[in-house]
Structure 1
Amino acid sequence: MDIDQFRNAMGKFATGVTVILTEVDGDDVHGMTANAFMSVSLSPKLVTISIGEKVHMLSKLKRSGAFTVNILASNQEELSRIFSGNLKCETEIEFDWLDGKPVLPGVLAQISCEVVTEHVEGDHTLFFGKVNDINVEEKDPLIFYGGRYCSLAEKEAVGQARRLK
């Protein structure tokens, strides 16, 4: 199997979209879009994020030892594109703070974490974070599937149209 076939197969798994943020040296906030995020444990409360070895965020996370996961709402595709580097703009991003760490306002969930361990596997580093605080809002999620953004409402409308035929 080649890398394109593998990437295509992995794209068949619908995921939410997150922005990972960290603060370095007390006032320098860095972020990146990621869908490689998962809950690991309820006791203790742990999550994992996966960061590629060539991504600038890797050294920032190693230096800060802390991060936040911001689960994006369906109307926040632009934020995802900004933090993925796919949308170049002069928009200044406003941050809120949770547990002394930067978070994005208006997201579905803000999760504040301290790195408890990291594990290198393949071309990525897995950061395991102890969850210190959470803020949750009730909204529809932004979804990434098959290489594009979509929403639950969009998928429901397609499903209803198919049932009507």
Structure 2
Amino acid sequence: MAINGEEFKQALQNWASGITIVTTQSDSFGLQGMTVSSFSSVSMDPPQVLVCINQSVSTGDGLKESGVFAINILSSEQQTTSNLFANPNKYEERFVNTPYTLGHNGAPLLTNSLASLECTVIEQITVGTHWIIIGEIQDTHLNDGEPLLYYKADYHLIQDNS
């Protein structure tokens, strides 16, 4: 018998992960972005990543329409940005209050992110409540800094114990 969603959520809180914001831009939906922790590399050759997005949010629809997106890997200085893009009630404020530039593919690249990966959608798979979106990386943008981490439902920073 499978566990319930709440048990699964509690178990995953024991997994420390980096935080990303997935962004896209499409004709019908405009600028879109959301905080995502379900992100992973898929392949080094060709370079591919995946991101999991709940089907109930419109960011997935924008991704499907545009066929492009960016993964913005957040720095330790972007906790406020992470919260803004995670809050469904702050949708209109996301890009007004966040500095960004448009990448070569048209997706927003968030300023001060540790890395931004410009991707082309190569596959979108429906699994349960989510879409698994696989993208091929077309370009990268890198900055110095420390990552923003999420563990036990709270943000954490790397501590230098050397």
**Normalising to structure 1: TM-score of the pair?**
0.87
Instruction: Summarize the Cα distance change of 1:15–1:87 in structure 2 as closer, same or farther, 3 Å threshold.
Output: farther
SS in 1 for 2:102: strand
CA contact (8 A) 1:16 1:143 kept: yes
Structure 1: 4+ residue segments shifted above 3 A: 86-91
**Which of 139, 143, 146 matches 1:137?**
143
Q: Which residue of 2 aligns with 1:95?
A: 100
- Name the % identity: 29
Residues 51-93 of structure 1 show CA distances to partners (whole Å, capped at 9, x for unaligned) of 1111121211111111000000011000001101167485532
Residues 24-72 of structure 1 show CA distances to partners (whole Å, capped at 9, x for unaligned) of 1199211000011010000111000101111121211111111000000
**Which of 7, 16, 19 matches 2:18?**
16
Please show how residues 1-165 of structure 1 align to structure 2 within 5 Å.
1-25=3-27, 28-85=30-87, 88=90, 92-101=97-106, 102-153=108-159
Q: Which amino acid aligns with 1:128?
A: I
With 110-119 and 21-30 compared, the bigger mean Cα shift is at 21-30
Determine the C-alpha separation between the residues in 1 that align with 2:62 and 2:88: 20
SS in 1 for 2:10: helix
Q: Which amino acid aligns with 1:95?
A: Y
Determine the C-alpha separation between the residues in 1 that align with 2:7 and 2:132: 24
Instruction: Name the count of aligned residue pairs.
Output: 156
CA contact (8 A) 2:69 2:118 kept: yes
Q: Give, in angstroms, the shift of residue 6 of structure 1.
A: 1.2
Note the residue ranges of structure 2 that are not aligned, 5 or more in a row: none
Note the residue ranges of structure 1 that are not aligned, 5 or more in a row: 161-165
Instruction: Summarize the Cα distance change of 1:58–1:86 in structure 2 as closer, same or farther, 3 Å threshold.
Output: closer
Bigger Rg, which one: 1
